[in-house]
Structure 1
Amino acid sequence: MTTEIELVDHELVARQALVERWAERHGVDAARRLAEAEDLADAVAAEITPDNTVDTYAKSWRVWTRFCAAGGLPELEGSRGALVTFVAWMLREGQQNGRGYAPSSASTHLAAAVVGLRERGVTVSGDDQAEARAGLEGLAVKLLQAGERRGRGQAVGGDIDGLRAIARACPGTLTGDRDKALVLTGFNYASRSQDPAGLQTGDITLHSRGLVVAVLTGKTKHSVRNAKIRYADDPEICPVRAYTAYRARLVEERGKQWADPSTPAFVGIDRWGHITGGMGPDSVTRAIKRISARAEVPIAWTGHSLRIGLASVGRRKGKDSIAIADQGGWARHSRSMLGYMQVEDGWDDNASADLT
């Protein structure tokens, strides 16, 4: 098993060889400056890589090392046969419990394992990786033909009845006020779990017509979209009233420091009522599951239910797809957004409807 120390040693050896080549070409001083520039580039790369990406790479590398140990293969070889065998092993028995992964999870682990191999100086050809991916897709088709359905499938979308049930089930505490604000605002700007986790108090501003939420958007190329959330006609599920009530109570009960624009917009609160700092993506996901379960929503919501909900309910209410895309931060005509809408469109906008 490759240790982090061995990986660092490999990188140091490779960097030293590169510096020596620079010194031969450009002189010692220039080589030193180029080495410093490389160090800065490494620091920038580490700074801008999202934490969840780092976690995924680390998890996938552990899957790869388990595979190599199980098959008696060297970790630092990314041959065609090893990669194809890797995907077959993942689908057959790759999980810790001996079950096979869902094809989508196996695809993620394959891509991340290749990244891990290349980071460790292993040459992995595009053709070999492509053959492994083709093998994965073919085996996934075989699973479907055999009647196997793996993975959780698409999360259930939030809806208006669910929002009302959640609003009524939230207790009259600071935690209850936070829960209500988290769900009602998240639904109205189609939040992912990481969106409210990344918001600061200064990112949500009150407007005469509602709230403006500055949401960091994009998985690779980041920008900020200003999602506008209007006052709702129904006060019970009004996101603006819920958020302002939660923030007012937070400052009143826990101190004026929470009014500072740099503090988390949504705070973590433990079962004893202590504030634990800002919520992270995982805690947002857990909170939404817990909140929906408390409200006895028929199918428990997940961290993605609010995002699906805006697209599907917006479509049902006749909202323009471009307006929905802009509000939720999707690319216009996004395939994922259109897929969420199809849940509604598939019944009314249906080629077989009204034929007989």
Structure 2
Amino acid sequence: MTVTVETAVDAGDVGEPDGVGAPAVLDPAAAERQELIERWAERHGIDAARRLAEAEDLADAVAAEITPDNTVDTYTKSWRVWTRFCAVTELPEREGSRGALVAFVTWMLREGQQNGKGYAPSSASTHLAAAVVGLRRRGVKISGDDQAAARAALEGLAVKLLQNGERRGRGQAVGADLDGLRAIARACPDTLTGDRDKALTLTGFHYASRSQDPAGLLTGDVTLHPRGLVVAVLTGKTKHSVRNAKIAYATDPEICPVRAWIAYRARLAAEADPRWKRSDAPAFVGIDRWGHVTGGMGPDSVTRAIKRISQRAGVPVHWTGHSLRIGLASVGRQKGKDGIAIADQGGWARHSRSMLGYMQREDGWDDNASAGLA
């Protein structure tokens, strides 16, 4: 950092022709940072410019630390889509003009996938947003108007697809429901794995878990309370999703999440190595076919487990890792729960658009705005 600042303000280096003393060629983002440091040095002096530059480095480090891993993965994948688009169309990678962005979304919907098929509009929207982030990180200036033009093109083309009867993507995952929970509880075998499966499903439904939530829980994050459980969810991406979710004893003991948790932990303590009951051990563990604990569950293993558990129970449409989260919102609304209470329990922002989308209308008849008006 010291060399960068001093180089930026040393007049003997900046003005030299190409050769030994010439400044190195920087990429756009680094060049922009260098120019900023030079302005600071002229305005405030070298020492202040150095401290401001160090503060910028700290800001970059904080941004990297608070960005979830799955968001980083999305940025990486979407940048590959952008570079593939640029290679096909022979457009420069580091230009984000209105025309380039509109061409990008058009290409994605028509042929953007590796197999030559078009992306679903939701996937194209994700790739557009992440590609813009990637361009800006590389020093490319993209105006809000140009980005808005690309988004408008995407939305208009998505409407055209619907008008032509073409629906892409998997659609929203099916939501968990009480009948499904009962079927799952009855289908869980009387084994450590069965008790784990029941506790994973029943507790996850009651705090609207994502796959990464139970995977990130430690034993100490789940505490017993006279009225039930308190689950400290620390894996959320927002200030709303990091929460202490309270889960009460259920009236129906067959699908009571608190009783299921207690039974699972008691069996784990009795049948597994004592280290798995420590407060810093994973709350939900992987178990092999012989009943041996293999370690903590990851998000992917939770997703696979939910699918397998619902399949074993004969649930008509197999659940995914997101079914429990959708289920709390939709069943909670059916039972007349307040929207704010649902949001707080599930870690949504109050009046969240995604939460409102999860409050599914099961068949469009019982929950119909026009029913009974006349």
- Normalised to the residue count of structure 1, the TM-score between the two structures is 0.89
Q: CA shift at 1:280, angstroms?
A: 2.7
CA deviations 1:43-93 (Å, max 9, x no partner) are 111111111110110110010011111111111111111111100000001
Question: Pick from 326, 334, 338: which aligns with 2:356?
Answer: 338
Q: Say whether residues 1:171 and 2:189 are aligned partners.
A: yes
Specify the alignment match of 1:305 in structure 2: 323
Q: Say whether residues 1:229 and 2:240 are aligned partners.
A: no
Aligned residues: 349
Q: CA shift at 1:348, angstroms?
A: 2.7
Specify the alignment match of 2:311 in structure 1: 293
Specify the alignment match of 2:19 in structure 1: none
d(CA) in 2 for partners of 1:272, 1:113: 46
Assess, with a 3 A threshold, how the Cα gap between structure 1 residues 206 and 120 changes in structure 2: closer, same or farther.
same
- With 182-191 and 336-345 compared, the bigger mean Cα shift is at 336-345
The 3-state SS of whatever aligns with 1:348 is coil
Q: CA shift at 1:339, angstroms?
A: 3.5
| Bigger Rg, structure 1 or 2 | 2
d(CA) in 2 for partners of 1:268, 1:45: 32
The 3-state SS of whatever aligns with 1:343 is coil
Q: What is the one-letter code of the residue matched to 1:76?
A: R
Q: CA shift at 1:146, angstroms?
A: 0.6
Specify the alignment match of 1:80 in structure 2: 98
CA deviations 1:139-188 (Å, max 9, x no partner) are 11110111101111221111122112212222333222221111000111
Assess, with a 3 A threshold, how the Cα gap between structure 1 residues 13 and 188 changes in structure 2: closer, same or farther.
same
Q: What is the one-letter code of the residue matched to 1:87?
A: V
Specify the alignment match of 2:73 in structure 1: 55
Q: CA shift at 1:42, angstroms?
A: 1.7
Q: What is the one-letter code of the residue matched to 2:128?
A: L
Alignment of 1:249-288 (within 5 A): 249-271=267-289, 273-288=291-306
Assess, with a 3 A threshold, how the Cα gap between structure 1 residues 37 and 271 changes in structure 2: closer, same or farther.
farther
Q: CA shift at 1:133, angstroms?
A: 0.8
Conserved? CA contact 1:316–1:344, under 8 Å: no
Instruction: Report runs of 4+ in structure 1 exceeding 6 Å deviation.
Output: none
Gaps of 5+ in 1: 1-7
d(CA) in 2 for partners of 1:276, 1:44: 34
- With 212-221 and 75-84 compared, the bigger mean Cα shift is at 212-221
Gaps of 5+ in 2: 1-25
- Cα RMSD of the aligned pairs, angstroms, is 2.5
Q: CA shift at 1:247, angstroms?
A: 1.8
Q: What is the one-letter code of the residue matched to 1:117?
A: L
The 3-state SS of whatever aligns with 1:347 is coil
Specify the alignment match of 2:18 in structure 1: none
Conserved? CA contact 2:213–2:236, under 8 Å: no
Residue identity over aligned pairs, in percent, reads: 84
Assess, with a 3 A threshold, how the Cα gap between structure 1 residues 201 and 333 changes in structure 2: closer, same or farther.
same
d(CA) in 2 for partners of 1:318, 1:117: 46
Assess, with a 3 A threshold, how the Cα gap between structure 1 residues 271 and 21 changes in structure 2: closer, same or farther.
farther
CA deviations 1:87-121 (Å, max 9, x no partner) are 00000011111111111110110011011001011
- Normalised to the residue count of structure 2, the TM-score between the two structures is 0.85
Q: CA shift at 1:271, angstroms?
A: 4.7
d(CA) in 2 for partners of 1:223, 1:148: 34
CA deviations 1:194-240 (Å, max 9, x no partner) are 22222222221101221111224864435643222122233322211
Conserved? CA contact 1:186–1:306, under 8 Å: yes
Conserved? CA contact 1:227–1:327, under 8 Å: yes
The 3-state SS of whatever aligns with 1:229 is strand
Conserved? CA contact 1:216–1:222, under 8 Å: no
The 3-state SS of whatever aligns with 1:211 is strand
Q: Say whether residues 1:196 and 2:214 are aligned partners.
A: yes
Q: CA shift at 1:282, angstroms?
A: 2.6
The 3-state SS of whatever aligns with 2:103 is helix
